[in-house]
Amino acid sequence: MTEDLRCAIALFLAAGLAVVGSGCDAFTSNAPERPSDPVRAGGETTIESATANAFTFPSANLSEDALEKHQAGDVAFEATFVSAPAAVNGGLGPAFSNASCEACHPANGRSRQILAHISQPGGGPHGGPKSVDGFGPTLEEHAIVGYENEADLNVTYRDSVVSLSGGETATLRVPSYSVENAYRPFPSNAMISPRTALPVIGLGLLEAIPPSTLRRYAREQAADDDAVTGEVNMVWNETEQEMQVGRFGWKATAPTLRQQTAGAYHSDMGVTSPLRPTENGAGQPPHEEADSLDNDPEVTAQTVDEATFYVQSLGVPARRNTDDPMVQRGEDLFTEIGCATCHRPTAESGRLESVPSVSTQRFAPYTDLLLHDMGPALTDGRPTFDASGREWRTPPLWGLGLRDLIQGHNELLHDGRAQSIREAILWHGGEAEPARERFRTKLTPEERDNLVAFLRSL
């Protein structure tokens, strides 16, 4: 149906009826005025693309030198590691989850691969997780020739049907995880936190938000009388040797992108660096033997820095369809039903030394980077630093509407259990339960469509 025809019908129906959320200009006169200069998704880093490559462009505002460094980082990000000895990119494993950054973050989005962070009860160093004897921080499902993988992660799903107002239903898949074929006994009290990768766009901007801003968000949420009370995660900075505000990963466990990147080389690929010089899974005899296979460390600090710079300097795609009345109505609903409290539309960065392109920007990430209790259905039962099993960091929503095109799937939430935006919303609980219930029971089917149309414009 054309927009005009739809409006004509709606006008006709409106005689004597209060029409809410019809999506026509005629009915949106009460909507808040839209700023004539709306905040661009990535501030000056924003790029114009709505294609399957939309997450792969450098920030629009890079200097020539920065662009060169970005391109070196791109090479590092795409490099596929092989087992040593090898002429280039040796040092994979001995145990690993995948062989390149790109494999888990295809086209800089997220793959379907689920990997499990593992620990056992009790505190580890600096209040972080305590590792499982004989295993690394991530359960490694692969190994190079001559070595055993640590174990297999098995997942099965059962369906759960949810009803929504207006006679609609949705089917959620409820996952259940188990560890099988462990190379040595896997303790029955070990805790597993299944995760899929996150898109890597716009991360320099998030890194450049001052810690004081995140603390202010938390204070503001605590002062409100709604259910939302986000908190910062305080985590260990391995280079600075001090506790800092965490912001990366599904539970905000990495304080910087450099630490996240060094951790990815180490724990996801089994590649050592000067930042993480000891082979992953220390305590497992075959791993120690493997150390002597290659010249350690297996990548230089420069390579870690280049890969880090790459994710700090990717552009964020501009929003699309912002003039569509359905999208605009959905944007209003996003705030009205309480989504914007956690998925904060805008943010301002301070200065990030070495990445001028992300410094002092105003941008629209749709996150507060804080931890929130998301209820029992989403818990992994595995605390890490200040994050309890039920707590997760609000993920940014920029680029959300392009992800299915880029990735070939639209799996959402920390373990990819949701297969659409609507399913992801219906899984929200805990602090987000009031917002979810408004979505589920108060909105009409058409309003839900408007909200999703808005989210797809991001």
Q: Does 265 bind ligand HEC (CB under 6 A)?
A: yes
Cα separation values, 322 from 36, 329, 453, 455, Å: 12, 10, 10, 11
- Binding of residue 248 to ligand HEC (CB under 6 A): yes
Among 311, 314, 387, 453, binds ligand HEC (CB under 6 A): 311
Residue 203 binds to ligand HEC (criterion: CB under 6 A):
yes
Which residues partner with 243 through β-bridges? 236
In the shown chain, the binding pattern of residues 367 to 406 toward ligand HEC, with x for contact by CB under 6 A and - for none, equals -----x-x---x-------------x-xx-x---------
Select from 35-43, 97-105, 161-169, 353-361 the region that touches ligand HEC (CB under 6 A): 97-105
> Binder to ligand HEC among 139, 172, 214, 425 (CB under 6 A)?
425
Alpha helices of 364-420 — where are they, by DSSP H? 403-407
Whether the CB-CB separation of 249 and 268 falls below 8 Å is answered with no
Q: Which of 7, 435, 443, 458 is in the footprint of ligand HEC by CB under 6 A?
A: 435
As a whole number of angstroms, the distance between CA 63 and CA 58 comes to 11
**Residue 70 contacts ligand HEC per CB under 6 A:** no
Alpha helices for 188-242 (secondary structure H): 203-207, 211-223
User: How far apart (Å, rounded) are the C-alpha atoms in residues 96 and 216?
Assistant: 39
Interacting span for ligand HEC (CB under 6 A) from 17-25, 154-162, 321-329, 340-348:
340-348
456: contact with ligand HEC by CB under 6 A: no
Assess 74 for contact with ligand HEC (CB under 6 A): no
Residues with Cβ < 8 Å from 40, sequence gap 6 or more? 46, 318, 319, 363, 364
Q: Alpha-carbon torsion 222, 227, 230, 231, what sign? A: positive
SS3 56: coil
Q: How far is the CB of 123 from ligand HEC (least distance, A)?
A: 18
Please identify which residue in 98, 108, 149, 272 interacts with ligand HEC, judged by CB under 6 A. 98
How far, in Å, CA of 330 to CA of 219, rounded?
Answer: 28
Asked whether the bond before 395 is cis by omega within 30 degrees of 0, the reply is: no
Shortest gap between Cβ of 293 and ligand HEC (angstroms)?
20
Take residue 285 and report the two structure tokens written for it.
């005899």
Mark the segment that binds ligand HEC (CB under 6 A) among 86-94, 318-326, 354-362, 427-435. 427-435
Helix/strand/coil for 158: strand
Interface with ligand HEC includes 191 (CB under 6 A)?
no
Give me the residues paired with residue 193 across strands. 117
The smaller minimum CB distance to ligand HEC, of residues 221 and 361, is found at: 221
Which lies closer to ligand HEC via its Cβ, residue 134 or residue 401? Answer: 401
CB 435 within 8 A of CB 337: yes
Residue 211: CB minimum distance to ligand HEC, A:
16
Distance, in Å, from the CA atom of 446 to the CA atom of 16, rounded to the nearest integer, reads 20
Least distance to ligand HEC, CB of residue 311, Å = 5
- Binds ligand HEC (CB under 6 A): choice among 205, 209, 245, 269: 269
Q: Is 421 in the site for ligand HEC (CB under 6 A)?
A: yes
Q: Which residues contact 220 (CB under 8 A, 6 or more apart)?
A: none
Using CB under 6 A as the binding rule, whether residue 79 contacts ligand HEC is answered as: no
Burial letters 236-258, b for 16+ CB under 10 A, else e: bbbeeeeebbbbbbbbbbbbbbb
**Residue from 101, 182, 191, 235 binding ligand HEC (CB under 6 A):** 101
> Is residue 287 close enough to count as binding ligand HEC by CB under 6 A?
no
Task: Select from 191, 307, 358, 458 the one that contacts ligand HEC (CB under 6 A).
Answer: 307
Which residue matches tokens 């808005």? 454
Q: Is the dihedral of CA 335, 336, 342, 343 positive or negative?
A: negative
> Contact residues for ligand HEC (CB under 6 A)?
77, 97-98, 101, 103-105, 113, 115, 195-198, 200, 203, 228, 248-250, 253, 257, 260-261, 264-265, 268-269, 307, 311, 337-339, 341-343, 372, 374, 378, 392, 394-395, 397, 412-414, 421, 424-425, 428, 431-432, 435-436, 439
